[in-house]
Amino acid sequence: MTKKQQGNFKCGIGYLTGQTYLNLFLATIYSMILCGAIKFLFEDQWWSLLLMGVVCLILDGGMVYQFMWRQGDKEANYIQFGRIEREPYKGLKIGLLAMIPYGVMDLMLALSLAKVLPFDFLRTFRILNAPLYGFMKLIHRDWGWATASTPGLSWGAFVILALMPLIYVLFCTVGYELGVRHISIRERLVYKQENKAE
């Protein structure tokens, strides 16, 4: 494989989708550790769940955004020198393809809710979506009208839980598009801070 072919391969949607899913997988592991620590320290207080959700979303969203931004920035140079052509909506496509495993999990949760599956999938669903665990737990608590099991889950809450992972599509799309345009939010924030200091 020549260097140009290697560069084109590393810019391909399949490769980038795999890398994005790898980032999401690593973020899930980090979030499991973080969620476990926060849950151990503060139990399931509403404010600790909100804190857990925000911190995990910043962590995993930041990982996905940063990867896609770097990829977009690199590809902008390839496009400028004619090594590859600009592909419209590439970040969106990658984000949507990276959602396929989440779609499978949504389907299994729906089947569990409809009592087609012989087991309760909600706890597994929460664990596999660890970066969103705090928000999910706020939507479907273990007390009051809901139980820890899928039968206690309403279809309205199910729709919200199923759509939550789509936030990653937003991180992929925005990260890639800003990278292609060489727009760095971090640099702009640091630059504003430096200007205020002067």
pLDDT digits (tens, 9 = 90+) for 38-60: 878 887 778 888 888 899 889 88
Residue with tokens 């936030």: 167
**Structure-block tokens of residue 83:** 């090594």
Residue 174 is predicted with a pLDDT of 95
Please identify which residue in the block is written with the tokens 């949607």. 13
The amino acid that residue 177 corresponds to is E
Q: Given this model, what pLDDT does residue 141 score?
A: 66
The band of 108, judged by pLDDT with boundaries at 50, 70 and 90, is very high
d(Cα 191, Cα 161) in Å, to the nearest integer?
38
* Residue of 148 and 17 predicted with greater confidence: 17
Range scoring the smallest mean pLDDT among 70-74, 80-84, 91-95, 111-115 = 80-84
What pLDDT does 6 receive?
A: 46
Q: Report the distance separating Cα 104 and Cα 165, nearest Å.
A: 12
Higher pLDDT, 8 or 175: 175
Radius of gyration of the chain (CA): 20
